[in-house]
Amino acid sequence: MMTNLRLSVVAIVLCILLFAPLAAAAKNPNPGVLPVNSHAYGMTYGEWSEEWWKWALSIPADRNPVTDTTGDFCAEGQSGKVWFLAGTFGTSETRSCTIPAGKALFFPIINGESSKIQGYGDTEEVLREDATATADAITFVEVIVDGKKLQTELQTEPNLGYRVQSGLFTIWLPPDNVLEIPTEEGVSSIAVADGYWIMLAPLSVGEHTIHIHGEVGSFFVTEVTYELTVVPEGSTK
């Protein structure tokens, strides 16, 4: 009887060891990506998308990471445990960047931002409708990390898969801003964003390549390849 009990216990343990990784993989098809519902680094993906837009639009046009063609401005405005990677405004770019180890990477595959100052609406409801319509029009999303294609699928509504819609937030534009909004001292505006986002867990020290590609039919295509060198934090390399 005792022998049978021991065999049963061993069988249960073996089943747990065998199937636990499979269950984890089923829940997260991209193990190197922090799950959308994980509240990574203290915030939701939606909240991180707000922070990304605040970061991207607050940096003057002459050194803005979104319009950067080489990677020279990758480090602009970066701080904390999460490092932002920029997309493009409809161009194809290759950027070379050096980043400290231990940084998670948060970036859009393709997304849109609707703000009052751009004339997309005066209320949260209208801005949200516009942002949703923009993201609904997306036709292609792709991310390849070190030669491995992530599983990313198009979604028919916000907050499914890697498609995330933000809350209402406030952007600030400097005088020389990438949206080319005339302002002498800077200006703020309410906004809503919707689109596809990825947060990668910190990469190992060394060389990495990330390819990001999104399309809205033939109307808008954004594509960027990041050639990253991850160095130990504090390194002068």
Enter the pTM of the model. 0.87
What does the pLDDT read at residue 15?
Answer: 38
Is the per-residue pLDDT at 14 higher than 70? Answer: no
Residues of the chain with pLDDT > 70, as a percent, come to 87
- Record the tokens describing residue 24, joined without a space: 């984890």
Nearby residues of 2 by Cβ (< 8 Å), 6 or more positions away: none
Over range 148-162, report the average pLDDT. Answer: 96
- Please choose, from the candidates 144, 163, 166, the residue with its C-alpha nearest in 3D space to the C-alpha of residue 153: 163
Give the model confidence (pLDDT) of 222-232 as tens digits.
999 999 999 99
Domain assignments of the chain as residue spans, ordered by start: 47-231
Residue 74 to residue 87: CA distance in whole angstroms:
11
Phi, psi at residue 161, to the nearest 5°?
60, -135
Residues of the chain with pLDDT > 90, as a percent, come to 85
Give the model confidence (pLDDT) of 71-128 as tens digits.
999 999 999 999 999 999 999 999 999 999 999 999 999 999 999 999 999 999 999 9
What does the pLDDT read at residue 29?
Answer: 86
Residue 212 to residue 218: CA distance in whole angstroms:
17
The burial class, CB within 10 Å (0-12 / 13-18 / 19+), for 8 is exposed
